[in-house]
Amino acid sequence: MLDISRSVAKKDHAPKTNGSAMYVGDFAPDGLLYGQLVRSPYARAKVLGITLPPLPEGYFTVDASDVPGVNQVHIVKDDTPVFAEDTVEFIGDPVLMLVGPNEEEVARLAAAVQVAYEPLPAVTDIQSADTAFFTYQFGRGDVAQAFHTADKVYEESFETGYQEQAYLETQGLMADYVDGKVTVHGSLQCPYYIHGALIKALGLSPDRVRVVQDATGGGFGGKEDYPSILACQVAVAAIKANGKPVRVWFGRREDIEFTSKRHPSLCVYKVAVKDGRVTAMDIDVTFNAGAYTTLSAVVLQRGIIASPGVYEVPNLRVQGRAVKTNTVPNGAYRGFGAPQTFFAVEMMMDHIARDRGEDPLKFKLANASVQGAMTSTSGRYHFPVPLPRMAETVRHMSGYDQKWQAYAAPQTGRYRKGIGMSIWFHGAGFTGSGERDHIKAVTKLHKYADGRVEILASQAEIGQGICTTLCKIVANELNLPLDSVFYEYPDTDRVPDSGPTVASRSLMTVGELLRRAAIRLRSQWRDGEEQVVEEHFTEPDFVIPFHIETFEGDAYPTYAWAACAAEVTVDTLTGVNSLTGVWACFDVGTPMDENIVMGQMEGGLLQGLGYASMEQMAADRQGRIRNNSFTDYIIPTSVDVPVMQVKLHVEEYPHGPYGAKGAGELPLVGAAAAYMAAMEQALGANIRHIPFSAEDALHILTENQKEVR
Amino acid sequence: MVNGYTPTSLAEALAIRAREIVTPYAGGTDLMIDERREGSYLFLHRVQEMKGIRREGELLCLGAACTYTALMESALTPALLKEAIALIAAPAIRNEGTIGGNIANGSPKADSALIFFVADASLRLASVRGERVMPIRDFYLGRKQLALMPDELIVEVLLPMTWMEHYCYEKVGARKALAISRVAFAGLMTIRDGVIQHAATAFGSVSDVIIRKPELDAMLIGKTVAQAKAVRDAYLEAYREVIVPIRGRVSAEYRKQVCVNLLTEFLSQHGI
Amino acid sequence: MDNSIEFILNGQPVTYRGSATARLLDVLRDTYRQTGVKCGCKEGECGACSIILDGRLVNSCMVAMGRVGGSDVLTIEGYALTPQFKVLDAAYASVSAAQCGYCIPGMLLASECVLRTHPNPTEEQIREGISGNLCRCTGYNAIVKAVQSAAKEGAGLW
């Protein structure tokens, strides 16, 4: 183990345990005003008019007419309005905000606002969607010929559901407008995304907009794009509030029902197999984008690039669409499109193996890519692909071989067991050339006269430990004690734009920039003087340029790898299953802090297991999210999972700090497939959708029984 | 003006209940879910007559304001009730939640009420007008509808202990803690010298009210195991007819199938 | 509403004047500025607002002020001053059990209650004891380990 991997007490530990950390809901400034959004009750409707109740002094509303700049939230395509104008496009689309000094009174008045609507026809499910926001296609080879000459062709469809990030702290932001300058602070992942959105919506120059992160109670992607929307709304209210601060802090139900989630998906796979090798895949991916485009383009890109899984597929055709429905817009959630397609491809490969009478793991490894092989986008796996060794590790940890054989034999009695394994990757960092063309990250190190060094970057500490790992890197290069290097919550008035806290990029990309900055500072170090060094992103030379028009080139410079086994026991009387073991091996390069990386791996893994099973959420025909509380949208508790056994495998990435590469998203991506593979063995049937409920399991058991009879 | 009363005796509590319009607050764990904080609460946690756990012959008298935790910690509490309580919510809820509140909430999902149903428990109700004892089955009139008069309080649950020793309990939730029952089953069966002395079953979370059909269970009582086997199919068929689930977080079909599966399993555990 | 409700908050007697039906969670945060008591759902489903009431773990969102009269309330702010906290805090730090931190004040108080009941807890007892406290970050492994290590390090304290 490298010295840098040795765990330290996290920099943000003390305020988080003694209760002194200030989250956005914890501030109580004088004159605080509370904002409550008034939302559409219709999936689609024309807004005819607004009638306000009599407003006591100090209470006011803001709507589209109060937006001083452009009534659009800058995300990617900017079709999301700050407040709805002529039409509302989903249940929850905000029409106006009611603001005032007493929270209960604000809620009462907001409920008394009457908006006249003319309901319009709405599309509320993926099957009936007729508008594609984005369509992409790519591939290579001769797919038709490969299907023609195949030993067998398999075709199956897979569906995945919503997943709610379920961060423990709900979304919340505060804003004030003082001396012509807007300040927004609160729970967020990407200060400069918000900064850009505010400039456009408020029509202010960059220097008159300031964004500051507060302690943030989890993000998982949920606070990547949504805070840009909320920030514009709160800031518009603040401008009208005459210097008083305005806060909007969602209750749990409002947060679950009206903020972004993982895209539900429908994937159709057609796979040709010849002589035990996959020779072609024809893949059609549809993501439910919801009512506005928000991040769907980039989520879809990652999803389809990952759609052939870790497998080497000489003939490939991939089509992806993100379709519009009149439902809550979906956005970023850890894995960013890849969990959907990895579920599909891993189940597909399981089903083919079972049809061939082979151990799925053997079949998968026989078809897996190796170093130097072509990626789905005709780029290269430039670095070692350690899947065989990692799978071997997991086989030994879990006792996979013996268990797989034992459970493959006919099982009788009330409880049945199964074990399954999945293998996957996660492309490290932004998809394609985003880092080079769009983000252009800049970081600084500020050395004070007393010798302390401050990191200036826009990375958000959201629990993943970035404020500790970045400091460790800089302290290591400068040979300073960790106490002498510090990193505050980012403030756009003080820090350069080192990019958003997304895509498992922060440590790998920004960490490396800071390492280089530290090396430079070390070489220029002058005792007792204040010094500042600045470092800019440069793309490594080996990268094959990526072209988004053709989806050709290196979509990612490198990949993090995973293998995971899950073991289940299913109660044949109720369909209820119990996870009896979870074993995983992850390669995220060199861990910058072993505890921190293990915490990321274990936490992400459990989110993936929840995604497969208990995390059920559906929109009804009216387009309303039904499971909108922690009673109805349930996530795993401490007793729902055994000790997850995780081991790290290290393939150093030469362009990441000390060999580190992307980590945060990896553990979630393919966990559902391992879980469902285990369920398939226990149930003796193929599974093609998640979340998979006890009711689904009992249904299969009943059907099996009928067949036996 | 005050909107909370904290009596320390039953007489005081009943006098307030008769005089004012108040919502009885036992543990608060259902009441506080409601966002509205209207009206006045009658806090019952200091009413000593509602906190006792005592044995009177074959009856176990449980104060309605006993928390789940208090029952878990009592040596008098039967194992079946402890097993059900152990699966209710999580420790923090069990520390405040009470059996009286669980009953008065009027939900068919009440996990402790299921045990009181299968055991044919009664409730001691009191008002300034006097007391009455009512079988718990008669207390539930429908979904959220109770035979509780506006001036009454549930004071005690009277739990017959005769047949509590041999039991079966199954809770089907969507996870292992903080789980609302999708189906819950409790069964009692005492077999002595090959003869069924007692049989009772109850199904929670299925219909508007917990299902308890002693007239069907009577088909088994007094019979030898072999005789019971002979009526097994008729017994299961009779239950298939009375289990009419409502759709909720899971489908009615699923609920029914699980009920029948668990009932069948309960019989086969006893060789029936 | 002018109920007058006296209780002990972190060892100090206080008198709350207000509604008896108000949530303890709101009163602790708004009136007494105990912002370490976190609000995650207000439905008793997440445990972020856990406090210790008369020696037992409760969700402060599920408690009305009228219930609190004459009682002893311990929040993370008060608990942070105890020797038990020191041991648990160090144990949490040693395995980096705090990620986003939002569940942590409640989780620490739940951990304290586990150790009060079971000074040498089994893994199962720890998991059961914290089962009402949701954590979305850690997958619970680290928290379980922290409580196990606190039991060892703080032998005799509980």
Instruction: Annotate A583-631 with DSSP letters as a single string.
Output: EEEEE-BS-SSHHHHHHHHHHHHHHHHHHHTT----B-TTS-BS--STT
Instruction: Kindly report the length of chain C.
Output: 158
Q: Three-class SS string for A27-59?
A: CCCCCCEEEEEEECCCCCEEEEEEECCCCCCCC
Sheet of B153-160: strand order equals: B53-56, B59-63, B153-160, B122-127, B130-135
Annotate B154-205 with DSSP letters as a single string: EEEEEEE-TT-SSEEEEEE-SSSSS---SEEEEEEEEEETTEEEEEEEEEES
Q: Which of A638, A640, A668 to mutate to test the interface with C (most CBs of C within 10 A)?
A: A638
Report CB contact under 8 Å: A638, B262. no
Answer positive or negative: Cα dihedral of C45, C48, C49, C53: positive
Q: Three-class SS string for A349-411?
A: HHHHHHHHCCCHHHHHHHHECCCCCECCCCCECCCCCCHHHHHHHHHHHHCHHHHHHHHHCCC
Is the per-residue pLDDT at A85 higher than 60? yes
CATH classification (class only), A30-119+174-250: alpha beta
Query: Can you tell me the distance from the alpha carbon of A446 to that of A511, in angstroms, rounded to the nearest whole number?
Result: 16
Closest by CA to C24, choosing from C56, C62, C52, is: C62
Closest by CA to C32, choosing from C3, C84, C74, is: C74
B61 token code pair: 């008298």
Question: What is the three-class DSSP state of A540?
Answer: coil
A296 in Cβ contact with A135 (< 8 Å): no
Structure confidence at residue A708 as a pLDDT band (50, 70, 90): low
Q: Which of A462-466, A602-606, B249-253 has the least mean pLDDT?
A: B249-253
Report CB contact under 8 Å: C102, A602. no
Closest by CA to A149, choosing from A45, A57, A267, A279, is: A279
Q: Give the residue-averaged pLDDT of A338-348.
A: 98
Among chain B residues, CA nearest to A251: B35
Closest by CA to A317, choosing from A554, A143, A136, A551, is: A143
Domain boundaries, chain A: 30-119+174-250, 265-431+553-708, 434-536
Report CB contact under 8 Å: B170, A574. yes
How crowded is residue A113: how many other Cβ atoms within 10 Å of its Cβ? Answer: 17
Across the 272 residues of chain B, what is the mean pLDDT of every consecutive 10-residue run? 95 98 97 89 97 98 98 98 98 98 96 98 98 98 95 98 97 95 97 98 96 98 98 98 90 96 98 96
Quick one: pLDDT at residue A2?
80
Exposure class string for A447-461: b at 16+ Cβ within 10 A, else e: beeeeebbbbbbbbb
Closest CB to A574: pick one of B172, B179, B251.
B172
Exposure class string for A72-111: b at 16+ Cβ within 10 A, else e: bbbbeebbbbbbbeebbbbbbbbbbbbbbeebebbbebbe
B24 in Cβ contact with B17 (< 8 Å): yes
How big is the CA angle at C128 (ends C126 and C129), to the nearest 5 degrees? 65
A296 in Cβ contact with A332 (< 8 Å): no
Q: Which of A11-20, A303-312, A432-441, A530-539 has the least mean pLDDT?
A: A432-441
Answer positive or negative: Cα dihedral of A303, A307, A313, A315: negative
Please report which helix (H) or strand (E) contains residue A570, including its range: strand A559-571
Question: What is the three-class DSSP state of A536?
Answer: strand
Question: Cβ contacts (< 8 Å) between A638 and chain B: which residues?
Answer: 177
Q: Is C140 within 8 Å of chain A by CB? A: yes
Is the per-residue pLDDT at A493 higher than 80? yes
C26 in Cβ contact with C33 (< 8 Å): no
Question: What is the three-class DSSP state of B133?
Answer: strand
Q: Is B174 within 8 Å of chain C by CB? A: no
Sheet of B22-25: strand order equals: B4-5, B40-43, B22-25
Report CB contact under 8 Å: A217, C38. yes
A83 token code pair: 């407040």
How crowded is residue C12: how many other Cβ atoms within 10 Å of its Cβ? Answer: 9
Q: Is C143 within 8 Å of chain B by CB? A: no
Q: Is C104 within 8 Å of chain A by CB? A: yes
Q: Which residue has the tokens 């759902």?
A: C41
Considering chain A, what percentage of its residues have pLDDT values greater than 90? 98
| pLDDT 10s digits, A91-130 | 999 999 999 999 999 999 999 999 999 999 999 999 999 9
Among chain A residues, CA nearest to C46: A630
Among chain B residues, CA nearest to C134: B178
DSSP state of A331: -
Closest by CA to A460, choosing from A195, A660, A697, A240, is: A195
Structure confidence at residue A530 as a pLDDT band (50, 70, 90): very high
Torsion angle, alpha carbons of A400, A405, A407, A411, to 10: -170
Quick one: pLDDT at residue A704?
82
Report CB contact under 8 Å: B45, C23. no
Question: Cβ contacts (< 8 Å) between C41 and chain A: which residues?
Answer: 252, 629-630
Report CB contact under 8 Å: C76, A19. yes
Question: Cβ contacts (< 8 Å) between B37 and chain C: which residues?
Answer: 19, 21-23
| pLDDT 10s digits, A411-456 | 999 999 999 999 999 999 999 988 999 999 999 999 999 999 999 9
Closest by CA to A425, choosing from A163, A663, A127, is: A663
Contact map slice: B 43-102 vs C, CB within 8 A: 43, 45, 69, 89-93, 95-96
Report how far Cα A444 is from the mean position of its chain's Cα atoms. Answer: 27
- CATH topology for A265-431+553-708 is Aldehyde Oxidoreductase; domain 4 (3.30.365)
Provide residues of A within 8 Å CB-CB of chain B.
414, 573-576, 578, 614, 616, 631-632, 634, 636-640, 693-695, 698-699, 702
Report CB contact under 8 Å: A17, C92. yes
CATH classification (class only), A434-536: alpha beta
Contact map slice: C 74-93 vs A, CB within 8 A: 75-77, 80, 85, 89, 92-93
Closest by CA to C37, choosing from C68, C62, C66, C59, is: C59
Q: Give the residue-averaged pLDDT of A601-610.
A: 98
A646 token code pair: 């995780």
Torsion angle, alpha carbons of C108, C114, C117, C123, to 10: -150
Closest by CA to A610, choosing from A584, A630, A634, is: A634
Among chain B residues, CA nearest to C25: B32
Same fold for the domain at A265-431+553-708 and the one at A434-536? yes
Q: Is C71 within 8 Å of chain B by CB? A: no
Which residues does B217 contact at the CB level (< 8 Å), separation at least 6? B199, B200, B201
Q: Which domains does chain C possess?
A: 3-75 (3.10.20.30), 82-153 (1.10.150.120)
Structure confidence at residue A709 as a pLDDT band (50, 70, 90): very low
ipTM > 0.95, yes or no = yes
DSSP state of A167: -
Question: Cβ contacts (< 8 Å) between A463 and chain C: which residues?
Answer: 99-101, 137
Closest CB to B3: pick one of C20, C56, C133.
C20
Quick one: pLDDT at residue A707?
64
Number of CB pairs < 8 Å for A and B?
A: 51
Amino acid at B157: V
Q: What is the pLDDT along chain C (158 residues), one digit of tens a residue?
A: 789 999 999 999 999 999 999 999 999 999 999 999 999 999 999 999 999 999 999 999 999 999 999 999 999 999 999 999 999 999 999 999 999 999 999 999 999 999 999 999 999 999 999 999 999 999 999 999 999 999 999 989 99
Closest by CA to A602, choosing from A659, A666, A558, A658, is: A666
Question: What is the three-class DSSP state of B63?
Answer: strand
DSSP state of A683: H
A612 token code pair: 């497969």
Query: Can you tell me the distance from the alpha carbon of B13 to that of A543, in angstroms, rounded to the nearest whole number?
Result: 78
A689 in Cβ contact with A620 (< 8 Å): no
Q: Which domains does chain B possess?
A: 50-160 (3.30.465.10), 167-269 (3.30.390.50)
Question: Cβ contacts (< 8 Å) between B251 and chain A: which residues?
Answer: 695
| pLDDT 10s digits, C70-113 | 999 999 999 999 999 999 999 999 999 999 999 999 999 999 99
Which chains does B contact via 3+ CB–CB distances below 8 A?
Answer: A, C
Please report which helix (H) or strand (E) contains residue A533, including its range: strand A531-536
Quick one: pLDDT at residue C142?
98
B216 token code pair: 């069907």
C67 token code pair: 């219930």
Q: What are phi and psi of A589, to 5 degrees?
A: 75, -155
Helices marked H in B35-181 — which ranges? 68-73, 79-86, 91-96, 99-104, 111-118, 136-139
Among chain B residues, CA nearest to C107: B92
Report CB contact under 8 Å: B92, C66. no
Q: Is C42 within 8 Å of chain B by CB? A: yes
